[in-house]
């Protein structure tokens, strides 16, 4: 029995290593931010699977939820000063520079747009809320309105942080675990052009 447990643990470790390698190749970028992106996506995915496996075991669920909270609080670790904002109730931390993901949701209206980007394993960053929309008339809006689901993009921006942790869309607990949707403010988005072509970028200005 002990040998089987050790074998199962070894298989899990190998799977996690392979997953991180896949994320690094799929969402590769030269900066250290790429590793943080892969780490966040893998952690939330792993916690979601263990939460589902825990079933109705309240003790295990509590432990996993605490680990998840730690992951969400780690996204802005370091000397990052909060920015002032009169439009948003939460602090804004500028911590993401040139992450890479795929567009999963884009909604364009006459006065603004909303965007959801998958950073790996169905972990989304999205500018949820009317006070956090991408305003029409900006270079960012001009790029976002040309995007389609499945497009690969490079982006920079800020997590919306409350009590030191990244915030999420308001969903039932089970849905938050299975489908992480973190609230984000996009500052720049670049459409990933074909090889040899110049990417088109737009900033929130």
pLDDT, position 189: 96
pLDDT, position 135: 94
Q: What is the rounded CA–CA span in Å between residue 45 and residue 124?
A: 12
- Which token pair is 187? 């500052």
At residue 19, does pLDDT exceed 80? Answer: no
Q: What is the pTM of this model?
A: 0.75
pLDDT, position 173: 87
Mean pLDDT of 101-130: 92
Where do the H-state alpha helices sit in the chain? 2-26, 33-54, 58-74, 139-144, 173-178
pLDDT, position 39: 86
Q: What is the rounded CA–CA span in Å between residue 175 and residue 197?
A: 39
Q: What is the pLDDT of residues 45-59, one digit of tens each?
A: 999 999 999 988 999
Q: What is the pLDDT of residues 91-107, one digit of tens each?
A: 556 578 889 999 999 99
The topology (CATH level 3) of 2-203 is OB fold (Dihydrolipoamide Acetyltransferase, E2P) (2.40.50)
Spell out the domain ranges in the chain.
2-203
At residue 185, does pLDDT exceed 50? Answer: yes
Burial label, 73 (beta-carbon count in 10 A; 0-12, 13-18, 19+)? middle
At residue 127, does pLDDT exceed 60? Answer: yes
If one compares 154 and 14, the residue with the highest pLDDT of the two is 154
At residue 82, does pLDDT exceed 50? Answer: no
Percent of the chain with pLDDT over 70: 71
Q: What is the rounded CA–CA span in Å between residue 98 and residue 5?
A: 40
At residue 190, does pLDDT exceed 60? Answer: yes
If one compares 201 and 20, the residue with the highest pLDDT of the two is 201
């Amino acid at each position: 029995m002990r040998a089987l447990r050790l074998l199962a643990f070894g298989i899990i470790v190998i799977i996690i290593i392979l997953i991180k390698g896949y994320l690094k190749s799929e969402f590769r970028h030269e900066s250290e931010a790429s590793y943080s992106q892969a780490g966040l996506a893998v952690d939330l995915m792993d916690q979601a699977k263990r939460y589902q496996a825990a079933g109705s075991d309240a003790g295990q669920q509590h432990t996993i939820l605490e680990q998840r909270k730690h992951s969400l609080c780690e996204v802005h670790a370091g000397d990052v000063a909060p920015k002032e904002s009169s439009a948003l109730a939460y602090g804004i931390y500028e911590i993401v520079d040139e992450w890479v993901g795929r567009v999963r949701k884009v909604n364009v209206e006459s006065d603004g747009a909303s965007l959801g980007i998958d950073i790996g394993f169905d972990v989304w960053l999205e500018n949820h809320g009317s006070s956090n929309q991408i305003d029409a008339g900006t270079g960012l809006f001009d790029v976002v309105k040309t995007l389609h689901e499945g497009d690969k993009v490079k982006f920079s921006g800020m997590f919306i942080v409350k009590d030191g942790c990244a915030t999420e869309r308001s969903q039932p607990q089970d849905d938050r675990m299975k489908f992480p949707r973190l609230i984000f403010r996009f500052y720049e988005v670049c459409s990933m052009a074909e090889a040899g072509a110049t990417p088109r970028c737009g900033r929130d200005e």
